């Protein structure tokens, strides 16, 4: 494991990485691997040291200079490509309606509440008619599975929210899209990756 971990991390994060690497080493197929990742992520976001460390994480909102929001980047696996990110929203903050392309994402709430929405999109002459297919309030300990190409968004409530995110590959390395209320759709780069120490 020492050869993989290029910098120290919290013990719970090390256990998470070891567990995820085992999932990949064993060749667990999708979607079973998403469920295993969800179980591992539930353990990580319940860890008291992880919760305490999260109080040092900055809000990573929209940056007008890059036209992107930010994600803290804690870890990127050198062999299997999965990453551990965090997204911290201020009260009332929200994500644009978007997909993650071919990548899968497991999204765990560590603090605060968010309304998480999945959308269906019906294409009509190059325009996309969006409708909510699933919506629920998620709080600490809840984990959402975002399968490839699923259109979705998250809406923080009246307090800061902290989510820990596991992606099958780092944002910016795959094709993904943003969807607009007027029916438009455009390719995006995904969140800016901001390296952050999880030790």
pLDDT digits (tens, 9 = 90+) for 31-82: 999 999 999 999 999 999 999 999 999 998 767 777 778 999 999 999 999 9
Q: What angle do CA 81, 29, 70 make, to 5 degrees?
A: 35
Residue 4 domain-assigned (yes or no): no
Residue 1 domain-assigned (yes or no): no
> In CATH, what number is assigned to the domain containing residue 83?
2.60.120.10
Residue linked to tokens 């902290």: 162
Residue 137 domain-assigned (yes or no): yes
Number of domain units in the chain: 1
Residue 31 domain-assigned (yes or no): yes
Residue 5 domain-assigned (yes or no): no
Residue 37 domain-assigned (yes or no): yes
Residue 2 domain-assigned (yes or no): no
Range of the domain at 139: 11-190
Q: Is 38 helix (H, G, I), strand (E, B) or coil?
A: helix
pLDDT digits (tens, 9 = 90+) for 121-154: 999 988 999 999 999 999 999 999 999 999 999 9
CA–CA separation, 8 and 169 (whole Å):
21
Name the average pLDDT for the chain: 94
């Amino acid at each position: 494991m020492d050869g993989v971990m290029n910098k120290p991390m919290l013990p719970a994060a090390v256990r998470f990485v070891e567990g995820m690497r085992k999932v990949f080493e064993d060749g667990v197929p999708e979607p079973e691997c998403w469920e295993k990742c969800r179980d591992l992520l539930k353990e990580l976001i319940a860890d008291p040291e992880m919760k305490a460390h999260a109080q040092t994480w900055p809000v990573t909102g929209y940056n007008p200079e890059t036209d992107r929001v930010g994600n803290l980047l804690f870890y990127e696996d050198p062999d299997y490509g999965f990453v551990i990110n965090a997204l911290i929203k201020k009260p009332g903050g929200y994500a644009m309606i978007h997909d993650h392309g071919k990548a899968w994402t497991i999204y765990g709430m560590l603090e605060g509440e968010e309304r998480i929405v999945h959308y269906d999109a019906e294409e009509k002459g190059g325009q996309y008619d969006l409708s909510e297919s699933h919506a629920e309030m998620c709080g600490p300990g809840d984990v959402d599975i975002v399968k490839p190409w699923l259109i979705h968004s998250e809406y923080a409530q009246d307090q800061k929210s902290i989510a820990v995110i596991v992606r099958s590959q780092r944002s910016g390395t795959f094709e993904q899209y943003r969807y607009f209320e007027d029916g438009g759709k455009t390719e995006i780069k995904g969140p800016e990756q901001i390296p952050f120490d999880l030790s």
